[in-house]
Amino acid sequence: MQYRIDKKSGNKLSVLGFGCMRFPGALGRIDMRKTEELVMTAIAGGMNYFDTAYIYPGSEEALGTILGKNKVRDKVYIATKLPLIATKSSEDFEKFFNKSLERLRTDYIDYYLLHMLTDTDQWQRLKALGIEDWIAGKKKSGQIRQIGFSYHGKQDDFLRIVDDYPWEFCQIQYNYSDENFQAGVTGLRKAAEKMPVVIMEPLLGGRLADALPKDAVGIFKKARPDLSPAAWGLNWVWNQNEVSLLLSGMSNMAQLEENMRLADKALPGMLAEGDKDVYRQVLEVINKAYRIRCTGCNYCMPCPKGVNIPGCFAGYNATFSIGYVAGMQQFITSTGVTSEKTGSPGHCVKCGKCESHCPQHLPIIKNLEIVRKKMEPLWFRAGIAIGRKFLGRGRGEKNSV
């Protein structure tokens, strides 16, 4: 495992951090046996940075339980986050922070983030609520060791926020397809002059790994048959000196082991000159294939009408990356569009609840309409309606396909 020094605290951080949003499990329940195996293997392999959040379902409890049971709390740095989306008053700062401590079974947080700052207005609102005094109190008491923020917004606002407070770290979305998106490379370099920068979404929710279009996989394989698309994605991030560490949401042992092997050699300047052209060719394929930039993070869920928003977008994108029939199969499986209780885009009532939660700022309502037109053409909807009638189901359903 390679390490890079956090210049604010002097901490030696593993270049690979564990993103705890995607612990293994199903139907909203974390598989504790598998998760413990992963977390303890990661620690044994030298990983020391674990990133969770108040709003990741079950994640703080799972991490706290595992670290407590194995008595390894003091071997790791815990990063967790204040859920700005639910913070309405200054009392909420304390309430959410104490709940995180309780779930994590600890009395301090090593790296505490304001979760998902999106613009300067939001930062000003927090200042008006007294966030600076609250942070000062927590720093004085030692309950917060390092204070930072995670960011999903425009670059100019990011740069203003970086300059407006003595932050001790920040976390941005960054990967080879997002070099000029959100904070981007300019934001990374400016922030890194002052503080450690943690990278999230290095593989864009898997879109740059297992979900990569076949043609793009072929380009990578031709250039270096020994490297997977995930390895290409992570190496691109680690290659940059300004990056302190990257977070990867590993949900099985094969992913963890591969990432740890890569992290053994993760040095700045590790890429060869000719590699740049390989990334450029891959990006051309990706940009043609991924029409909707959904990372599958689920922040927009649940939809009150049951629309499977990320499932709709993944199926739609798949029609461009792996073909119409395979994409359609994926869409049908993930939305259950042929069943009575479907997550079809046709159920959207345009309430707008989802859009403000999307870190990628996607126009979800408009995109669902695009998906509906392509994935549920008239002949398809007619076929489903006839099928339901024949089976005597679906009576009284409004707006369903």
Look at residue 80 and give its three-state secondary structure.
strand
Beta carbon of residue 2, minimum distance to ligand SF4 (angstroms, whole number): 30
Is residue 365 a contact point for ligand SF4 (CB under 6 A)? yes
Alpha carbon distance 79, 19 (integer Å) = 10
State the Rg of the chain over Cα: 22
Is residue 401 a contact point for ligand SF4 (CB under 6 A)? no
Look at residue 158 and give its three-state secondary structure.
helix
Look at residue 371 and give its three-state secondary structure.
helix
Decide whether 28 or 392 has the Cβ nearer to ligand SF4: 28
Decide if 69 contacts 129 (C-beta within 8 A). Answer: no
Decide whether 16 or 303 has the Cβ nearer to ligand SF4: 303
Decide if 183 contacts 243 (C-beta within 8 A). Answer: no
Among 362, 375, 384, 401, binds ligand SF4 (CB under 6 A): 362
- State the binding string over 278-317 for ligand SF4 (x if CB under 6 A, else -): ----------------xxxxxxx--xxx-x-xx--x----
Among 262, 348, 371, 375, binds ligand SF4 (CB under 6 A): 348
Q: Which stretch binds ligand SF4 (CB under 6 A): 127-135, 174-182, 192-200, 349-357?
A: 349-357
Decide if 245 contacts 15 (C-beta within 8 A). Answer: yes
Beta carbon of residue 213, minimum distance to ligand SF4 (angstroms, whole number): 18
Decide whether 104 or 292 has the Cβ nearer to ligand SF4: 292
Is residue 364 a contact point for ligand SF4 (CB under 6 A)? yes
Rounded to 5°, angle at Cα 205 from 202 and 206: 90
Decide if 248 contacts 22 (C-beta within 8 A). Answer: no
Decide whether 175 or 295 has the Cβ nearer to ligand SF4: 295
Task: Tell me the DSSP string of 167-193.
Answer: -SEEEEE--TT-TTSTTHHHHHHHHHT
74-113 binders of ligand SF4 (CB under 6 A): none
Residues that bind ligand SF4 (CB under 6 A): 294-300, 303-305, 307, 309-310, 313, 348-354, 357-358, 360, 362, 364-365, 368
